[in-house]
Amino acid sequence: MSKTRNIQKSFKSTPVMEGAGVHLNRGFGFSELPMFDPFLMFDDFRSDNPDHFLKGFPWHPHRGIETITYVLDGNVEHGDSMGNKGIISSGDVQWMTAGSGIIHQEMPKGTADGRMEGFQLWANLPASQKMIDPSYRDVKSSQIPIVQLDNGTKIKIICGKIGEIKGPVGDIVIDPEYIDITVPADTAYNHPTKQGHNVFAYVIGGKGYFDRRKSTLADNETVILFGDGDEIAAGTENEPVRFLLVSGKPIDEPVAWRGPIVMNTQEELEIAFDEYEKGTFVRQK
């Protein structure tokens, strides 16, 4: 018999400013560790004011983590210390493994009418993987499968599996799932999850319930952290709900975190920042 996950915690994302002056909403971050392990941070950078995102995230380092950028609408220009450069456009995903170290920039440009809609998730790497070579999984919108269920629920699979249909991002050490779900009005949807994995949802439109008792009606910019179980229950009343559902296997290791670098010990952090100052931070060019 399936065990439906209860809501462990539910709260709204918080306005913060990052980069060179980007206004965004932080779903969770340092103060929520280790509840979301293996995930470190989740940011929502949706805006219809170009002054809130055009200054972007100029050149900065990363080590020891993965950053996952999902663009709903608009363009984000990027470049890095390995010579890569390009544009992430509407519906695209970039899954970057910083590993031993990379220096990059991300510059949101938005749409022609001045809108930008996207999210960035940080995932931790275990000690055994923190110093691997940096890499990218660039995924175009056309590569991401969309499953339409009989009850009208629509599921976009970035990472994970619905039935026999798999998302394009695989072979990740934390065994993650990252899906974009829209449940129609007056509809119930149960989604299977792996026991022992940490699971959270982030509502990006409409309103919905995330427990069988319908005790909490969650709307836009709400984070829902679930307890353990092998499924989550979502339901709606007179309007649909759209949410991101993310899960992963906890790493359960010490976290030493300063800015864009996440290691296991303070000594490793000091080494990383010392190498950055000396110009020896990047191992692969």
Q: Specify the residue for token string 């982030």.
A: 202
If pLDDT is split at 50, 70 and 90, which confidence band does 285 have?
Answer: low
Tell me the one-letter amino acid at 103. I
Q: Which domain holds residue 114?
A: 7-270
Burial of 250 (0-12, 13-18, 19+ CB in 10 A): middle
Tens of pLDDT, residue by residue over 48-81, are 999 999 999 999 999 999 999 999 999 999 999 9
Q: Are 284 and 100 in contact (CB under 8 A)?
A: yes
How many domains is the chain built from? 1
Q: Please give the backbone phi and psi of residue 232, each rounded to the nearest 5 degrees, phi first.
A: -115, 150
Q: Rounded to an integer, what distance in angstroms lies between the CA atom of residue 222 and that of residue 14?
A: 10
Q: What is the pTM of this model?
A: 0.97
Q: Does the residue 282 lie in any domain?
A: no
Tens of pLDDT, residue by residue over 188-221, are 999 999 999 999 999 999 999 999 888 889 999 9
CATH number, domain containing residue 222: 2.60.120.10
Q: Is 143 helix (H, G, I), strand (E, B) or coil?
A: helix
Q: Mean per-residue pLDDT for 26-31?
A: 96
Q: Does the residue 281 lie in any domain?
A: no
Element (H, E) at 276: helix 266-278
Q: Does the residue 140 lie in any domain?
A: yes
Q: Does the residue 279 lie in any domain?
A: no
- Whose CA is closest to 37, among 129, 124, 158, 96? 124
Q: Does the residue 39 lie in any domain?
A: yes
Indicate whether 2 pLDDT > 90: no
Residue 191's pLDDT is: 97
